[in-house]
Amino acid sequence: MNPPLRPFAGWPRAILHVDMDAFYVNVYLLAHPEDAGTPIAVGGRPGSRGVVMSASYEARAHGVRSAMPSTQAVKLCPALKFVSVGRGAIRDASRGVMAILAEYGPMEPMSVDEAYIDLSAQAAPVRVADAIRLRVREETGLPASVGLATCKLVAKVASDQGKPEGRTIVLPGQEAAFLAPLSTRVIWGIGPVTAERLAAHGIETCGQLAAADRALVERVFGRHGPALQARAAGIDRRDVVPDRGPARSISAERTFDRDMSDASFLREQLAHMCAQIGASLRRDGLVAQTVVVKFRLPDFTTYSRQRTVEFAIREDAEILRLAVAIWEEHWPPGQPMRLVGVGVSNLAPPHAQQLAFDFGA
């Protein structure tokens, strides 16, 4: 049992964000160490309308990025090697990492490769943050970057600053100063469209947003304006929420750095999210009867569509098959997407072996 949370001198709260570096690539390298140092991309190969899902840092040095068409990636890096990595390997690696993180305090997984840990009960959170990063590397063979701060928002931004294998500590009281020179894009809730609207008013950094005239921000963003300014100043009161008991629903979503319309890439994203959801269902001993697919357009219009089946499901392929059926029914080919998500609901423990069935066209 974790000790009761209590603030220690100088740290009213201590939130650690752990983000695995090039996770899919590095999981592949565990089984293929001979490819270390090679520019690598996980994703569809050129000529198949493939898209890069993850790239090694050697590839990133040439400008290769996730969500980039594979043909473009090869033009930037002719030596780029395309590889694949099994879902089982990803699942097992993620479980190993999360098991380590959960030993240090309340832990909230955000995806297969990142999580928050509340270290407020630790007498020396900086030393613990260093120990966690080193232990993950030693026991799993996988590199991670960590960010420690008094809130989730700043901790996540901090973990991005020193990649790969970075370690950034933002001391209490330094949150606003840390964020001030950074682009407004580092703040959750500020995407390309919002950043452009801010830039049109001469606001490009977090410091400029935090110091901007409140009336102007409210005029441009309405009721969301004050919240944006608070985040830009490093104010975030969200708690780390560990997994407690059976879930009512399980979901995953991806917000893209740029609007995506490539069908193969979007279906690959659906597949990875369904695998993540399936793993969660099996881990918790649950099955689902409803699958939901969430869509967000470039203009932020968001909607979801769902389908409920007679026989409950929990296998990745079953969830994916239903998600793709919903997707194909409601996605106009070529329509750019800002975000795609998948969720399951109507959860319950299985009462009998699930039967195979046809979702239909």
Nearest to 70 by CA among 90, 25, 40: 40
Token readout for 175 is 């949150």
For residues 186, 137, 135, 164, the Cα torsion angle rounded to the nearest 10 degrees is -20
Which string of b and e fits 312-330 if b means at least 16 CB within 10 Å? bbbbbebbbbbbbbbbeee
pLDDT of residue 296: 85
Token readout for 306 is 């769902």
Nearest to 360 by CA among 324, 325, 310, 320: 325
Interval 105-157: pLDDT, tens: 999 988 889 999 999 999 899 999 999 999 999 999 999 999 999 999 999 99
Residue 245 reports pLDDT greater than 70: no
Mean pLDDT of all residues in 301-313:
83
Q: Which of the four pLDDT bands, split at 50, 70 and 90, describes residue 351?
A: low
Residue 167 reports pLDDT greater than 90: yes
Interval 264-281: pLDDT, tens: 999 999 999 999 899 888
Strand order in the sheet with 81-83: 52-55, 40-43, 81-83
Residue 324 reports pLDDT greater than 80: yes
pTM of the predicted model as reported, rounded to 2 decimal places? 0.69
What percent of the chain is predicted at pLDDT more than 70?
92
User: In terms of DSSP bridges, do strands 81-83 and 249-260 run parallel, antiparallel, or are they unpaired?
Assistant: unpaired
Mean pLDDT of all residues in 218-229:
84
- Return the higher-pLDDT residue of 299 and 312: 312
pLDDT of residue 358: 40
User: Residue 166 and residue 179: Cα distance in Å, rounded?
Assistant: 17
pLDDT of residue 35: 94
Interval 279-292: pLDDT, tens: 888 888 888 989 99
- Catalytic sites, residue numbers: 114
Amino acid at 4: P
